[in-house]
Structure 1
Amino acid sequence: MNAVVRIAVVTGAGSGIGRSVALELARTGQNAALSSSATPTWAVALAGRRSETLEETAALIRAARPDADVLCVPTDVTDPEAVTALFSAVRERHGRLDLLFNNAGTFGPGGVRFEDLPYSAWRKVVDTNLTGAFLCAQAAFRQMKEQAPQGGRIINNGSISAHAPRPNSAPYTATKHALTGLTKSLSLDGRPYSIACGQIDIGNAATDMTSAMRSGVLQANGELAPEPMMDVGDVARTVRHMAELPLAANVQFATVLATNMPFIGRG
């Protein structure tokens, strides 16, 4: 059987959740929306600020599947021109786009009280987590609307902070709540064009960014306490499930978290 290739863009692909999702898609991704007479695979475009970490992700993908189609595009998602260049590169190489995993983000400064938070720190988190997600979603939306066959899927990386905050996390929490609104708007506005949009809210996936949680993280009662973690591969498999659905079906919101972490009953 001839392989049918679907095209994905993963932002923040140089590490953590983005890297794990890119590996999962490229290694094992299949799209249930396609005819059973074909064997689909994923070609993945990796976006992130640092070219060296993108190349590391690409090398891991090729080690797992030597014939994988991987494109590395260094991208600052806060820069409209860089985002335009990213999606132009994907269109020039593949001619279409089937999936955007809108993943790039930052926690912002840790341990800074709200009243002491610098404006520059607020802007950096908002520009990356919210404006960057908007710019990427808009570029993907335009391409999915214009291509034939029309349509595609956008999956936004939210957080359990889209539901409940941690102490001293106003910028991160505010952007993740706003991302939920963006997800809902995209779901509505995408209906006429077969563009589905969902959000995955993740809690305590084991990555370099969350490693400090193993030794202790500030709780709502002011104590420092270690928190349970889950394998980041469990997140990647959840994203792949969302991506594999036919466009007539959508996981609107999915929450995947370490079972025993303090989320239900937080505070």
Structure 2
Amino acid sequence: MNNNKTAIITGAGTGIGRGIALKFAENNFNLILASRNVDNLNKVKKDCDLLNNDSSYVIQTDITDEKSVDNLFLESKSKLGKIDILINNSGVFDGGPIDEMSVETWDKVINVNLRGAFLCLRQAMKLMKSQKYGRIVNIGSISGQVPRLNSVPYTTSKFGLTGLTKAAALEGRNFNVVVSIVHPGNVITELRTNRGEDKDIEPMMEPQDIAELVFLTVNLPSNVNLLESVMLPNTQLYVGRG
């Protein structure tokens, strides 16, 4: 294995995760692509390997399952030797009026967006503390700062992810482990199209735009942390959802 930077990207099969994977591959990162959908991951692997000469690996992972996440990190360490970066990107959206929402809907969103992020961060922190270095970037949302109507579980999960980020950043600092969160605004992804949103209703970014910010974040000097950042289309309504 070469000495290139190494990264695990969850939710790497589509959308923002795919955009980050391609940006990293373009810059000679060795990658672990993780998600439940192996078919999507294999498509991304093919694109990444064209950019960086067969330097990516696919590991099917359910981030809500503790054993599956443990296996992800064991296999990743075996394949790459070290893990420089974790991109906690996996996420789902569901919502509706609170009084009409099922517990199953709430649990589904919280389990992926918050529990899953915690399980991955926990394993990354163990490994990176032993290495005495590492970067973890959680992908949040502007909904974790200013809620949308009828998005209680999603909003709650992203507010929680911000808290997880800041608490973990405190724990990691004495071990040279840097933890950050990036809050995207509107991005054209399968997550939006699958819930029937018209991309022309509001201004949108491309996944590659977020990938640029994440790439900048992980390449900062090791003594610097861009703890929390927001990226959104310049004309997107945001403050107070006004």
TM-score, normalisation: structure 1: 0.86
Q: Is the 8 A contact 2:188 2:199 kept in 1?
A: no
| Amino acid of the structure 1 residue aligned with 2:29 | W
The one-letter code of the counterpart of 2:83 is: L
Give 1:96's aligned amino acid. K
Distance 1:266 1:105 in 2: 22
Matches of 1:68 and 1:162, distance apart in 2: 36
Larger Rg: 1
- Quote the residue 1:32 is aligned against: none
* Structure 1 segments unaligned to the other structure (5+ residues): 29-40, 217-225
RMSD: 1.3
Aligned 8 A contact 1:213 1:227 in 2: no
- Structure 2 residue 233 is matched with structure 1 residue 258: yes
- Within a 5 Å distance, the mapping from 1:239-254 to structure 2 comes to 239-254=214-229
For residue 64 of structure 1, report the CA deviation from its aligned partner: 2.7
1:115-167 CA-partner distances (Å, limit 9, x unpaired):
000001100101100000000000000001112xx210000001001111111
Q: What runs of 5+ residues in structure 2 fail to find an aligned partner?
A: none
Task: State the 1:60 CA deviation.
Answer: 1.2
8 Å Cα contact 1:49/1:74 also seen in 2? yes
Question: Which secondary structure state, in structure 2, belongs to the residue aligned with residue 254 of structure 1?
Answer: strand
The separation in 2 between residues aligned to 1:215 and 1:83, in whole angstroms, is 33
Q: Secondary structure at the match of 2:202?
A: coil
Q: Is the partner of 1:259 in helix, strand or coil?
A: coil
Q: Does 1:199 align with 2:199?
A: no
Aligned to 1:36: none
In 2: Cα distance, 1:68 partner to 1:247 partner: 28
Query: Structure 1's 75 and 8: CA in aligned 2 closer, same or farther, altered over 3 A?
Result: same
1:42 aligns with 2:6: no
Deviations 1:183-212 (A, max 9, x none): 000110001110000000001111122234
**Aligned residue in 1 for 2:71:** 85
Distance (whole Å) between structure 2 residues aligned to residue 50 and residue 215 of structure 1: 24
CA distance, structure 2, for counterparts of residue 265 and residue 91 of structure 1: 43
- Of 90, 93, 102, which residue of structure 2 is paired with 1:104? 90
Quote the Cα distance in structure 1 between the aligned partners of 2:56 and 2:215. 17
Higher helix share: 2
1:30-59 deviations in Å (ceiling 9; x for gaps): xxxxxxxxxxx3101000001111001101
The corresponding residue for 2:120 is: 136
Shift of 1:215: 5.2
Distance, in Å, in 1 between the alignment partners of 2:30 and 2:135 is 15
Cα distance in 2 between the residues matched to 1:108 and 1:71: 30
Q: How does 1:50-65 map to 2 (within 5 A)?
A: 50-65=37-52
Q: How many matched pairs?
A: 239
Distance across 2 between alignment mates of 1:4 and 1:146:
18
CA contact (8 A) 2:92 2:191 kept: no
Deviation at 1:240, TM superposition (A): 0.3
Instruction: Tell me which of 167, 180, 185 is aligned to 2:149.
Output: 167
